[in-house]
Amino acid sequence: MAKIGYIRVSTEHQETARQEQIMKDYGVEKVFSEKLSGKNTNRPEFQKMINYLREGDVLYVESISRLSRSIRDLLKTVDILTEKGVSLVSNKENFDTTTPQGRFMLSIFAALSEFEREQTLQRQKEGIAQAKSRGVYKGRQPIKIDEARFKAVCKRWTAGEISAVEAMKTLGLKPNTFYRRCKSLGINPPQSKK
């Protein structure tokens, strides 16, 4: 378990001394610091910090607003930390996910995040329905595949000359598209040799 700190101020003219002292008080081992706006998470040190964090680490911040000024970005960050198994401690909000109260707060954040995702999906469905009613939405266009080339590559695959991964790479297809097309053309995978 490592203690990781993140410090952010919005402009070059602002000082980080107060936040640095907070990190020292917590005994933080590694600090990521930058002087950039928190309007989004497209910040070099923020991204380095997210990539650096490992399961069991604790992330310390002076306040939640240091992570993000956007609720949506903050909820996304909390999701990432949760997936990584990283705890979060915020000095200003007295927020510590290593405690039962902090985990409760985290569950509230997670619920808000899920609610936001569901709202977004609902708005998307409504928008598609409106577009369809106006005749504007046509849906996702099918991937155009040269059938002769597809069959030639699949012939090599079924003969055991190349792997399925190589066949997909050659055709530039993802697995679900590749196998769906094989099924529609009656092409069966090669039988494994016993």
Express each pLDDT in 123-175 by its tens digit. 888 888 888 888 887 777 777 888 899 999 999 999 989 999 999 999 989 88
User: Sign of dihedral through CA atoms 69, 70, 75, 81?
Assistant: negative
Question: Would you say 33 and 62 are in contact if contact means Cβ atoms under 8 Å apart?
Answer: no
- Domain end point (choices 62, 88, 113): 113
Would 194 be classed as within a structural domain? no
DSSP label of 32: E
What's the pLDDT band for 43 if we cut at 50, 70, 90?
A: very high
Calpha distance 28→21 (Å, rounded)? 10
Confidence at residue 154, expressed as pLDDT on a 0 to 100 scale: 92
**Among 77, 73, 123, 101, CA closest to 86:** 77
Tell me what the mean pLDDT of segment 10-29 comes to: 93
Q: Are residues 109 and 152 in the same domain?
A: no
> Domain tally for the chain?
2
The pair phi, psi for residue 41, each rounded to 5°, is -95, 10
Instruction: Kindly tell me if the per-residue pLDDT of 48 is higher than 50.
Output: yes
User: Catalytic residue among 10, 33, 63, 65, which?
Assistant: 10
Would 125 be classed as within a structural domain? no
Tell me what the mean pLDDT of segment 67-75 comes to: 80
Confidence at residue 168, expressed as pLDDT on a 0 to 100 scale: 92
Q: Are residues 22 and 104 in the same domain?
A: yes
Angle at 165 between CA 162 and CA 170, to 5 degrees: 75
What's the pLDDT band for 192 if we cut at 50, 70, 90?
A: low
- Reported as a single tens digit per residue, the pLDDT across 88-99 is 999 988 888 878
Element (H, E) at 60: strand 58-61
Instruction: Kindly tell me if the per-residue pLDDT of 44 is higher than 70.
Output: yes
Confidence at residue 61, expressed as pLDDT on a 0 to 100 scale: 95
What's the pLDDT band for 110 if we cut at 50, 70, 90?
A: low
Tell me what the mean pLDDT of segment 108-125 comes to: 77
**Looking up tokens 């053309």, which residue turns up?**
185
Q: Are residues 108 and 151 in the same domain?
A: no
Q: Are residues 14 and 108 in the same domain?
A: yes
What percent of the chain clears pLDDT 90, i.e. is strictly above it?
Answer: 42
Q: Are residues 32 and 102 in the same domain?
A: yes
Confidence at residue 25, expressed as pLDDT on a 0 to 100 scale: 96
CB neighbourhood size of 9 (10 A): 19
The pair phi, psi for residue 52, each rounded to 5°, is -75, -35
What percent of the chain clears pLDDT 70, i.e. is strictly above it?
Answer: 95
Edge-to-edge, what's the strand order for the sheet holding 87-90? 30-35, 3-9, 58-61, 87-90, 95-96
Element (H, E) at 5: strand 3-9
Q: At what angle do helices 175-184 and 164-171 cross, to 10 degrees?
A: 100
Does 10 participate in catalysis according to the annotation? yes
Exposure b/e, 61-96, CB count within 10 A at least 16 = b:
bbebebbbeeeebbbbbbeebbeeebbbbbbeeebb
Assessment of whether the complete model's pTM goes beyond 0.85: no
Q: Which domain holds residue 175?
A: 147-184
Confidence at residue 193, expressed as pLDDT on a 0 to 100 scale: 54
Tell me what the mean pLDDT of segment 115-126 comes to: 83
Tell me what the mean pLDDT of segment 20-49 comes to: 94
